[in-house]
A and B are shown apart, each in its own frame.
Chain A
Amino acid sequence: SQKIEQNSEALNIQEGKTATLTCNYTNYSPAYLQWYRQDPGRGPVFLLLIRENEKEKRKERLKVTFDTTLKQSLFHITASQPADSATYLCALDAGNMLTFGGGTRLMVKP
């Protein structure tokens, strides 16, 4: 079965620095991978998706990379702000079906 792993430990960084979150997967080669943000007490919100042949995708201060050889996606937030503090989830896209990782909590300190 598909397995998708994110660092379960919280990531603490200083405001202004770049946050890098990792998503690793096994037993599957997804054509797409999606990233979501989840704030406490709320449902996840879609941020970005990347296709296997895109390697890198950007949206404002967000950047996602997708390495199908390493079976890994990296999610970067540049010039991080305290408002970026949240849990970030990655998800394998299996065709209208998503398998989510456990999420990584990001804390940006002022």
Chain B
Amino acid sequence: DAGITQSPRHKVTETGTPVTLRCHQTENHRYMYWYRQDPGHGLRLIHYSYGVKDTDKGEVSDGYSVSRSKTEDFLLTLESATSSQTSVYFCAISGGTSPWEFGYEQYFGPGTRLTVT
């Protein structure tokens, strides 16, 4: 298995509180991704990173921010959690090195189940 961990694995928080999820990799991969998975919507990309301090928005980025200060860590922050952000969050990594490379599979972490009450 690819060396990718997520923390925490489960979290319950209240509406309006800030939440930070952490993704840590030991593969030294350049690309890292945050997805959310909801019934009826599948996996949707929130943000991704293509290097230290290099990040960009995905399909559902509103209400989320990310940071990547080291190759191995990619943080996802919900500045003020809402009930609509209750979901399972997955981090993924990929061995690609540039935007126009194809054929690189993604390796996923175990997921974080977040409940916002």
Contact = CB atoms under 8 A, between A and B. Distances in A.
Interface string A81-109: 00000000100010111111111000000
Given A42-B111, A43-B109, A96 B96 contact: yes
A32 B102 CA distance: 7
Contact of B105 (A34, A89, A102): A34
Interface string B15-35: 000000000000000010001
Interface in B60-117: 90, 92, 94, 96, 98-111
Nearest to B4: A43
Given A95-B99, A95-B100, A96-B96, A102 B90 contact: no
A16 interface: no
Interface string A10-51: 000000000000000000000110100000011111100101
A49 B103 contact: yes
A66 to B, nearest CB: 13
A43 B96 contact: no
Given A95-B101, A102-B41, 7 more contacts: A8-B40, A43-B92, A43-B108, A93-B102, A95-B102, A99-B45, A100-B42
